[in-house]
Structure 1
Amino acid sequence: MTYLAATSSFDPLKWVNLADARLGARALSVTDDWFADVNRMLEPSEPVWKEGLYDDNGKWMDGWESRRKRGSGHDHAVIRLGVAGTIRAIDIDTRYFTGNYPPSASVEACYCPEGDPDGDTSWTEILPSISLQGDHQHLYELDSNGVWSHLRLNIYPDGGVARLRVYGIPYRDWSSHPQHQAIDLASAMNGGRALACSDQHYGHMGNILNPGRGVNMGDGWETARRRTPGFDWVIVALGHPGLIKQVIVDTHHFKGNFPDHCSLLGGYISGGTDDQIEAQSLYWQELLPAQKLTMDSEHRFEAELNEIGPITHVRLNIFPDGGVSRLRLLGLIDTAASTTGSR
């Protein structure tokens, strides 16, 4: 296991935050969260500062904060990830914690496919102790192919962490999935990832792959108003190659700002890198011809789909701009591809 501070070329937003509360991540135990509830650390929103806001225990802080330790030992929190997966990077964020941040922290992990860890569980250190600064994001890339379901965040000796983000690829044992049962191959829970887009001024592209329906406009992908010719688009890598049988484009909450229509291109990519995906998408086949969209609605397309064979990636085009809450790509897994785990 090796780690290093993230380089400027590493884009965490191309990966899935496995510790996102929207995916079901939650804290199972914590030594102390007197000042601020540990589960605030897993919220998908950016941390905020609320001047002058206090509760019964002291200053309200947007994150996890323990009391000042007056004895030996250190504080820690055990977290069940929203979905098990391989971890590419960890961000320990101390924003707004200035005189109350931990001087250092480390992260351990385990894999419990059934249930949660107990006293007999073996933990592996995936991020050795690192020095922390106040009001700062600490993003570290990991070099590991292990699959993990739970983390233990150790802070030395006490203090506050605004956000813990764990970027990686969800794991799924595709060999156990019935070949003739359709599944959402684009879902973040199944390893789907948003890789690139033309614009994401109001809402991040990865939101369209989250489970459930969007809670508001901010929980979707929305572009700025286009003032030049053209259209907006987002490219998604499927969790596993497959044959798409149904497409769902959901404009939930988007009423005066939904796209006029949309289309989908699909391609089977067997090489290259994520940063070259835009160029490759120029030659993909049309999976869904242009379809009219309406506000605040789920649009389901089946008969409209073209048969283009198994694909690994799609490009959703929206004309000319606007917001999409969710994209679902229901399909059958391609049994010719490896079915060991998520791509």
Structure 2
Amino acid sequence: MAADFSAGFPLSDTHSITGDDMAAPILDPNAPAFTRRYMNLADPRLGAKALFASDEFFAPKERMLDPEPAVFIPGKYDDHGKWMDGWETRRKRTTGHDFCVVRLARPGVVYGVDLDTSHFTGNFPPAASIDACVSDADTPPDDAVWETLVPATTLAGNQHHYVDVSNPRAYTHLRVNLYPDGGLARLRVYGQPQRDWSRAARGELVDLAAIENGAYLVAANNEHFGPASRMLMPGRGANMGDGWETRRRREPGNDWAIVALARPGVIRRVEVDTAHFKGNFPDRCSLQAARVAGGTDASLVTQAMFWPMLLGEQPLGMDSVHTFETQLAALGPVTHVRLNIHPDGGVSRLRLWGELA
């Protein structure tokens, strides 16, 4: 049965997730670009859930989806043995392998995964794979058609395993297979949500920069203290670490980030939120925008310098939501926006409310 991809995608300007729910974990500085560009479709704060595991004797399946980085606590034991921060099965003494079924927070196209074995050294699985399916049911039925998303991949202990995925289909559920058993600290599934845009009412304002609606970060010139993709997350920032922050600029110029909108649209209202940024908020901001018909994400970086102004330079203050409506230029439908911050600093959230083109 085909899944209803419209479920779970808010169309109003009220997000159901609070900033406290969305505190972002520290990212691996050596992680591939997909970890910063796309949302984690396996994030339980957005609705992902570990549904079933063949075994979870040493550590429950839910820990595998914890959005915070895995930790190790020396000397901590429970009734089953050493407490481990992740999903861990018992030593398998029969044929077969262990697995866990996960419902994604949103139906989406997966671009990469992180199979994280942090702190699992003598108890990590030698290999793992991931299957995927599409189902309207909360738990896929026995006759669900599973397809290979990530083929069997060799794992090592106590490290991240980043795997690129090239599959254009949107899925609703994953099945993580461990060969034959062991522990997985964290599962991250980076992808772009899919939704049925035909259900959006004509003239209704939609946040075209919302990551849960399919927007993503194309590029940013600097992300020293926090990735720019955090600006696109739901809710208000939980703290100063939950946003985009650049290093202190010691040369002329300004910092910038380019966002690909969820859909082409006419932007009617802009919100720039500097929540928690007090001694390090940008002095000013501006926006450029364009409707881009071709090229690559890399080529946009150069082109964006010459895009027309959507919003001229506007002063910003600390720890506030700044709303701009009458100041916006009439550019018509656009697909990409470049946020300029002058000269540097931090922005917690960026909202681009617009009508679908």
Q: TM-score, normalised by structure 1?
A: 0.88
Contact 1:35-1:61 within 8 A present in 2 as well: yes
| Structure 1 segment 63-78 matched on structure 2, within 5 A | 63-78=86-101
Deviation at 1:9, TM superposition (A): 11
Q: In 2, Cα distance between the equivalents of 1:112 and 1:53? A: 39
State the partner residue of 2:70. Answer: 47
277-286 vs 254-263, which moves further: 254-263
Deviation at 1:20, TM superposition (A): 2.7
State the partner residue of 2:202. Answer: 179
State the partner residue of 1:268. Answer: 291
Q: In 1, Cα distance between the equivalents of 2:175 and 2:285? A: 43
Determine which of 308, 314, 330 is the counterpart of 2:353: 330
Q: TM-score, normalised by structure 2?
A: 0.85
| Structure 2 residue 197 is matched with structure 1 residue 197 | no
Share of identical aligned residues, percent? Answer: 52
Distance 1:34 1:320, change over 3 A: farther
What letter corresponds to residue 135 of structure 2 in structure 1?
C
Which residues of structure 2 form unaligned runs of 5+? 1-29
21-30 vs 52-61, which moves further: 52-61
Contact 1:19-1:25 within 8 A present in 2 as well: yes
Which residues of structure 1 form unaligned runs of 5+? 1-7, 335-343
Determine which of 295, 307, 316 is the counterpart of 1:284: 307
| Structure 2 residue 281 is matched with structure 1 residue 258 | yes
Q: In 1, Cα distance between the equivalents of 2:195 and 2:290? A: 22
User: How far does the alpha carbon of each residue in 1:44-99 deviate from its partner, in whole angstroms, 9 at most, with x for none?
Assistant: 44434444444454333332222223334322111111211112222212122111
| Structure 2 residue 33 is matched with structure 1 residue 11 | yes
| Structure 1 segment 281-320 matched on structure 2, within 5 A | 281-320=304-343
SS in structure 2 of the partner of residue 217 of structure 1: coil
Q: In 2, Cα distance between the equivalents of 1:190 and 1:112? A: 20
Deviation at 1:167, TM superposition (A): 2.2
User: How far does the alpha carbon of each residue in 1:141-182 deviate from its partner, in whole angstroms, 9 at most, with x for none?
Assistant: 233221101111111221111222222221112223222111
What letter corresponds to residue 46 of structure 2 in structure 1?
L
What letter corresponds to residue 210 of structure 2 in structure 1?
S
Determine which of 176, 180, 189 is the counterpart of 1:153: 176
Contact 1:23-1:210 within 8 A present in 2 as well: no
Deviation at 1:132, TM superposition (A): 1.6
Q: In 2, Cα distance between the equivalents of 1:186 and 1:103? A: 40
State the partner residue of 1:233. Answer: 256
State the partner residue of 1:80. Answer: 103
What letter corresponds to residue 33 of structure 2 in structure 1?
D
Distance 1:93 1:328, change over 3 A: same
Q: In 2, Cα distance between the equivalents of 1:140 and 1:331? A: 35
What letter corresponds to residue 277 of structure 1 in structure 2?
L
State the partner residue of 1:248. Answer: 271
| Structure 2 residue 167 is matched with structure 1 residue 144 | yes
Q: In 2, Cα distance between the equivalents of 1:217 and 1:56? A: 38
Distance 1:219 1:56, change over 3 A: farther
Distance 1:104 1:175, change over 3 A: same
State the partner residue of 1:341. Answer: none
Q: In 2, Cα distance between the equivalents of 1:266 and 1:39? A: 41
Contact 2:101-2:174 within 8 A present in 1 as well: yes
217-226 vs 115-124, which moves further: 115-124
User: How far does the alpha carbon of each residue in 1:12-49 deviate from its partner, in whole angstroms, 9 at most, with x for none?
Assistant: 22233222334322212223333333233223444344
Q: In 1, Cα distance between the equivalents of 2:250 and 2:75? A: 41
Q: In 1, Cα distance between the equivalents of 2:312 and 2:95? A: 65
User: How far does the alpha carbon of each residue in 1:244-269 deviate from its partner, in whole angstroms, 9 at most, with x for none?
Assistant: 11111111222222222211111111
Q: In 2, Cα distance between the equivalents of 1:50 and 1:332? A: 50
What letter corresponds to residue 153 of structure 1 in structure 2?
V
